[in-house]
Amino acid sequence: MALFALLLDAAPTMLRGAGYTLLFALAAMVGGLAIGVPAALLRIAPFRFMRWPAALYVSLMRGTPLLVQIFVIYYGLPGIGIAFTPVTAGVLALSLNSGAYLSESLRGAIASIGQGQWRASFSLGLGYGQTLTHVVLPQALRVAVPSMSNTLISLIKDTSLVSVITMTELMLATKEAIATTFQPLPLYLAAAAIYWVLSLVFERVQRLAERRLNRAHQA
């Protein structure tokens, strides 16, 4: 009964934090896709000068910890006159980080499409952009959905890191509840359960997206 009462008391705070976590993750997903798709297309561009900036971005984001990226954006950039609110800094960091991984997933999927598809399209008179848009990308997206979805699902868990810049989300809300109840174990376990449930929801969305793309491809 005492444990149930503890969780009941902490539920409003933690559920509010979970709601913010979901909103931040969705915003970062949109931002990550907005960054990742152009980065992937630049990585496969026919000209080297177009490829290297995207390659540098991907290497930097994948080669440094997300926590360091959050600190640089929120605490470092104000030193040169660029300041962000905690929410903006958190979403920006998550978007930049996930965008690098999403771009690699999409680039790999595009590379998996046989060169015969390109040659056949060119022989029909299609240009590079038309071939990419109408022939290659639809097939590549179907291949890339599982790995891209895994990256997007991981954003749910990665939002816990933005609590270090006082951005209100599930982990910070849990810490606030612990500060008043002094019961860390059950509340951290409850937070873990909430993260798990959110991840399960996104896994379900991933499976639905895969089935729809497969049906569209078969049709």
pLDDT, one tens digit per residue, over 106-158 is 998 888 888 888 888 888 888 888 888 888 888 888 888 888 888 878 888 89
Q: What is the mean predicted confidence (pLDDT) over 38-54?
A: 89
Q: Return the CATH number at 166.
A: 1.10.3720.10
Instruction: Give the residue among 197, 155, 150, 178 at the shortest CA–CA distance from 21.
Output: 155
Q: What percent of the chain has pLDDT over 90?
A: 37
Name the packing angle between helices 2-43 and 184-218 (round to 10°). 40
Banded model confidence at residue 2, pLDDT cuts 50, 70, 90: confident
Distance CA 94, CA 194 (A): 20
Question: Using CA of residue 172, residue 173, residue 175, residue 179, what is the dihedral sign?
Answer: positive
Tokens of 206: 């991933």
Instruction: Give the residue among 90, 146, 135, 84 at the shortest CA–CA distance from 113.
Output: 135
Does 98 or 153 have the greater pLDDT score?
Answer: 98
Number of structural domains in the chain? 1
Question: What's the whole-model pTM score?
Answer: 0.86
Amino acid at 30: V
Distance CA 29, CA 149 (A): 10
Alpha helices in 64-136 (DSSP H): 66-71, 86-112, 115-123, 128-131
* pLDDT (0 to 100) of residue 218: 62
Does 205 or 30 have the greater pLDDT score?
Answer: 30
Q: How far apart are the first and last CA of the chain?
A: 56
Distance CA 131, CA 114 (A): 13
* pLDDT (0 to 100) of residue 167: 77
- Long-range own/partner contacts, residues 135-140 (CB < 8 A, 24 or more apart): 136/110, 137/110, 138/217, 139/113, 139/217, 140/106, 140/109, 140/110, 140/112, 140/113
* pLDDT (0 to 100) of residue 68: 96
Range of the domain at 137: 2-218
User: Is 80 exceeded by the pLDDT of residue 3?
Assistant: no
Distance CA 86, CA 164 (A): 10
Q: What is the mean predicted confidence (pLDDT) over 179-196?
A: 91
Burial class (CB in 10 A: 0-12, 13-18, 19+), 174: buried
Q: What is the mean predicted confidence (pLDDT) over 198-219?
A: 78
